[in-house]
Amino acid sequence: MRLTILGGGGFRVPLVYRALLDDHGKGRVTHVTLYDLDASRIEAIARVLAEQAAGMADAPEVSVTTDLAEALRGTDFVFSAIRVGGLAGRAVDERVALEEGVPGQETVGAGGIAYGLRTVPVAMDLARRIAELAPEAWVINFTNPAGMVTEAMSAYLGDRVIGICDSPVGLGRRVAGALGVDPATVWLDYAGINHLGWLRGIRVEGRDLLPELLRDDAALTSFEEGKLFGAEWLRTLGCVPNEYLHFYYFSREAVAASRAAAQTRGAQLIEQQQRFYAHANGSALQAWDSARLERETTYLSDIREAAGAGERAGADLESGGYEQVALALMRAIALDERTTLILNVRSRGTIDGLDPEAVVEVPCFVSANGARPLSVDPLPGHALGLMASVKAVEQAVIEAATTGSRAAALRAFAIHPLVGSVVVARRLLERYERELPQLGYLRGRN
Ligand code: G6P
Ligand code: MN
């Protein structure tokens, strides 16, 4: 089986390769093609992969290319994990938002809109090329903002593109741990859109254990989301939100914490990753792994500090979510190993009140036929309202990216619940256009 990684010089590629190396099952990936625009970044990553594979007789073969047609020819699966504008673009997304007094995060609020405006045109172009050159391939989208980008790519790829994120499965693993149950045996009643979802129940043999957890202060504040949101607020909500909802429920505190921090996340990652990509002597694998650990340790550090959540749990530093979801999805499709996974797919009416073409993040049944969303219980009014607002923002970004309409781009900023002012929205758009050359396609008045 052949896998092509778009963004093959990206920092998290060795995580995926490690999962492939650990998979000795029948029908495993035997060939990986790394595609990237930047040859030096792929070289740096390829050196890490070579060290990971050292001494392993059945290691998947790796080839590298900067030619898209060559990368796609004959491939079975495509992972898309690109970063348009690089980390420098991310740093702009985050800084400009914070300077305007709204949360500065790559996937949430104004930062997510700017990142989407930059990424959607490129992702759609890639989707079109994949549909032409590898029409049989399945596409797994990691590229953030993952829900919006998956929805944009589905215009060319339909249900052959599936978006993934590790935050729901990470949440499920942590909640199961707090309850002392095996994460492999639980049913997660999770629903939402990417980085905006809620765990409403966790069932073992039909019994929902969440009410028990909500009553237990010690257990509730023993894991990341419990520390971020606090026991009282979780009891009030009656569910456990995705960690990214901190930017909504505690938006002023999140802004204050990020503004007080020495650097934006993007600027911090530029420094961390520079130490790896510019690394010339010694082990590339060691340099990569120490930058990886630093990244995990400092993940969402601003909001953890705002919430007084302290350091991350050791188990959360191991990662394992991102690449495991990808591998499980790929095996389920390629080998018909039927399973359920929380994925980003078109809703098809799963969430009442949302456009059936909208991509949502819900449990899906996965088989050789792809991923089908399962029916979920209705969401409470406030959650549905928030989701519908943010989905309208995502769709306005896709409209701007496909038509070049500056008015649609302004609408995206202005209707976002975390922006809250047309005046600020206008300033955000102007400043992003000034600082991000990739937004040069926007036309018309706003
Ligand atoms: C989580 C999120 C991803 C994000 C990753 C890294 O896994 O679900 O969407 O890409 O964290 O975040 P970072 O801030 O380290 O880039
Ligand atoms: Mn994610």
Q: Where are the domains of the chain?
A: 2-85+104-163, 168-249, 253-307
Annotate 413-431 with b (16+ C-beta within 10 A) or e (fewer).
bbbbebbeeeebbeebbeb
Please give the distance of CA 382 from its chain centroid, rounded to a whole number.
Answer: 23
Give the Cα separation of 137 and 130 in Å (integer). Answer: 8
Give the closest residue (by CA) to ligand 1 atom 14.
299
Q: Report pLDDT for 320.
A: 66
Amino acid making up residue 315: A
Q: Could you say which DSSP state residue 312 is in?
A: P
168 CA distance to ligand 2 middle (Å): 9
- Pocket perturbation via mutation, ligand 1, pick of 93, 144, 276 by most ligand atoms within 8 A of CB: 144
Give the ligand with the smallest distance to the CA of 320.
1
> Is residue 195 a contact partner of residue 167, using CB atoms and an 8 Å limit?
yes
φ/ψ (deg, to 5) at 12: -90, 5
Annotate 373-391 with b (16+ C-beta within 10 A) or e (fewer).
beebeebeeebbebbbebb
Query: Residue 167: CB within 6 Å of ligand 1?
Result: yes
Residue list, CB under 5 A from ion ligand 2: 165
Q: Report pLDDT for 221.
A: 95
Give the closest residue (by CA) to ligand 1 atom 8.
167
Tokens of residue 375, six digits: 């029916």
Query: Residue 248: CB within 6 Å of ligand 1?
Result: no
Residues of the chain with pLDDT under 50: none
- Pocket perturbation via mutation, ligand 1, pick of 80, 82, 106 by most ligand atoms within 8 A of CB: 106
Give the Cα separation of 337 and 417 in Å (integer). Answer: 40
CA 265, 234, 387 angle in degrees (round to 5)?
A: 65
Give the Cα separation of 327 and 345 in Å (integer). Answer: 17
441 CA distance to ligand 2 middle (Å): 27
Tokens of residue 404, six digits: 């070049």
Give the ligand with the smallest distance to the CA of 265.
1
Give the Cα separation of 176 and 213 in Å (integer). Answer: 10
Rg (CA), the chain: 21
Which is the closest atom of ligand 1 to the Cα of 170?
Answer: 7
167 CA distance to ligand 1 middle (Å): 8
Tokens of residue 152, six digits: 């944009």
Give the Cα separation of 432 and 93 in Å (integer). Answer: 7
Which is the closest atom of ligand 1 to the Cα of 295?
Answer: 15
Q: Report pLDDT for 113.
A: 99
Give the closest residue (by CA) to ligand 1 atom 3.
165
443 CA distance to ligand 2 middle (Å): 30
Query: Residue 143: CB within 6 Å of ligand 1?
Result: no
Q: What CA–CA distances, in Å, run from 301 to 14, 393, 420? A: 23, 26, 25
> Is residue 19 a contact partner of residue 323, using CB atoms and an 8 Å limit?
yes
> Is residue 328 a contact partner of residue 134, using CB atoms and an 8 Å limit?
no
User: Three-class SS of residue 168?
Assistant: helix
Q: What CA–CA distances, in Å, run from 240 to 106, 236, 244, 321? A: 22, 10, 11, 18
Give the Cα separation of 114 and 130 in Å (integer). Answer: 25
Strand segments (E) across 248-380: 339-346, 359-367, 370-373
Please give the distance of CA 436 from its chain centroid, rounded to a whole number.
Answer: 22
Q: What CA–CA distances, in Å, run from 214 to 202, 231, 303? A: 12, 7, 22
- Pocket perturbation via mutation, ligand 1, pick of 167, 171, 292 by most ligand atoms within 8 A of CB: 167
Q: How many CB atoms lie within 10 A of CB 440?
A: 9
User: Three-class SS of residue 158?
Assistant: helix
144 CA distance to ligand 1 middle (Å): 9
Query: Residue 144: CB within 6 Å of ligand 1?
Result: yes
Q: Report pLDDT for 369.
A: 97
326 CA distance to ligand 2 middle (Å): 12
Which class does domain 2-85+104-163 fall in? alpha beta
> Is residue 361 a contact partner of residue 192, using CB atoms and an 8 Å limit?
yes
Q: What CA–CA distances, in Å, run from 80 to 12, 38, 137, 138, 162? A: 12, 15, 12, 11, 10
Annotate 69-99 with b (16+ C-beta within 10 A) or e (fewer).
eebbeebbbbbbbbbbbebebbbbbbbbbbe
Which is the closest atom of ligand 1 to the Cα of 296?
Answer: 15
322 CA distance to ligand 1 middle (Å): 9
